[in-house]
Structure formats: C-alpha cells, structure tokens
Structure 1
Amino acid sequence: MSDHPGIRIGAEYPVLEVITTPRRVLLRIPERPDVLLERDTPGLWDAAMFTVVSSRVPDCWVAGLKDGQVTLAPQEWQRPGFWEDYFDGEPTAGAEYERLRAEVLAQA
C-alpha cells in the first residue's frame, strides 16, 4: 500500500471522532494535527487502515446513537447538520470545531 496525500504510512494521527456502522468503523482525523490551519478539512478514514497506539479517550467525547450508528465525539459535533455547517464555513460551527479540536488534541 502506498501513501495517500492526506495520510502517511507510519505516521501517528489523533482521532477526533469515531463513527461505527454495522459494516465499518470510521475515524475522523484532522488534516494536519500539528498545525492550526486557516481551515482544517478533517476527513473520515476507514479504521482498518490504522493501528491503535493509545487507548486514551478524550474527556469531551460522549456516545451518541442514531439510526444504528454509534458516534464517539464531542456532543456539539453530533448535532444534526454540524459537519455540513462546518464545511459550508458557518462561523459558529467553525468556532465549535476549533475549540473542541484543541481539547481533543491536548488529550491525545
């Protein structure tokens, strides 16, 4: 397997959110966890691509259940439409993301 432009083999990535469905587990990973970008584009990646190196769970994560999908993430990110608002550049969603991203990364 070769590197992807957003993910490098052998690198460690903090997980911002875990989403489980009946068929797979997805991890939301920041574009560049080491740099606060003007606009981060946190992507969803298949958990099968990664090896867990830490069992720490951020204090701000809560479990949510909707339509058979379990999500572990900050409560604010689990509201309907949060990610759409974030990627559409809605300022409140951007501020919530930056605040909670910093909290998750501080505990990584």
Structure 2
Amino acid sequence: MAVVSEHPGIHIGEEYQVLEVLANRTRVMFRIPPRADSWDSVDTPGLWDAAMFEVVSDRMPACWVAGLNDGGLTLAPKEWQRPGFWEDYFDHLPDALDQYDRLKAQIIAEA
C-alpha cells in the first residue's frame, strides 16, 4: 500500500464535515462531501476510511439516526438509509438529489 500526502478530494490538515458513518466488523468509513475547490465540479460525496482522519468534534447532527443493515451500522439521516438511496442519488434522480442537498445543508449548519 502506498501512502500519499494528498488526493484531489482530500488534503492533509484540513477539516471535513462527516455526512454519514458506516461501520462493520472490519472497517469504519466516513462519507465526506468534496472540497469547494475540488477538481470535480460535481457534488459527489466520497467514502473514506475513518483511519485517515482525526476526529476533532464529537457532535452528532440531530438528523442522524442509527440503522442496522447487512451486518453493519450506519449513522446518517433516515432518508439516506433507505435501500437504493445512493443509487438514486448517483443516477441523479430529483427526489434523492433534493434530500441530499437539504440534509447535507442541515448537517453542515450544525457543525
């Protein structure tokens, strides 16, 4: 495995808002929105290994709920936990895009 100092979507030393936490027996992942100056102009939230980050705040957004699925735990808005939500989002379905935008704004406002 190669260690790199930066990636177009993530930079060392910057703070990122976690939109969702996914955990299973072997791994914890954070869903993080792209940086404002990202090389990709599309708002595509990425999943990143939590081990890459130092948690600087233990505040949880009010809209997060715990969900159990496929042997894992998810902390995220309930709307995002429905089966097929992320597929709908990445397929650019209006309802999913609207839910993402609204709840992302709420999560960031609470930071």
TM-score normalized with structure 1 length: 0.93
Q: Which structure 1 residue ranges, 5 or more long, are not aligned?
A: none
Q: For residue 78 of structure 1, what is the aligned residue in structure 2? A: 81
Q: For residue 88 of structure 1, what is the aligned residue in structure 2? A: 91
Q: For residue 56 of structure 2, what is the aligned residue in structure 1? A: 53
How much does 1:68 deviate? 1.1
Distance in 2 of aligned mates of 1:32 and 1:64: 27
- Determine if the alignment matches structure 1 residue 6 to structure 2 residue 9: yes
Q: For residue 28 of structure 2, what is the aligned residue in structure 1? A: 25
Q: Deviations over 1:6-54 (max 9, x none)?
A: 000000000000000110000000012689x974100000000000000
Aligned residues: 107
Aligned structure 1 segments of 4 or more residues deviating by more than 6 angstroms: none
Q: State the AA in 2 paired with 1:103.
A: Q
TM-score normalized with structure 2 length: 0.91
SS in 2 for 1:95: helix
Distance in 1 of aligned mates of 2:90 and 2:35: 16
Q: Which structure 2 residue ranges, 5 or more long, are not aligned?
A: none
Question: Percentage identity across aligned positions?
Answer: 65
Distance in 2 of aligned mates of 1:19 and 1:75: 13
Change (3 A) 1:100 1:49: same
> Once superposed, what is the RMSD of the aligned Cα atoms?
1.8
- Once the two structures are overlaid, the 10-residue window that deviates more, 90-99 or 1-10, is 1-10
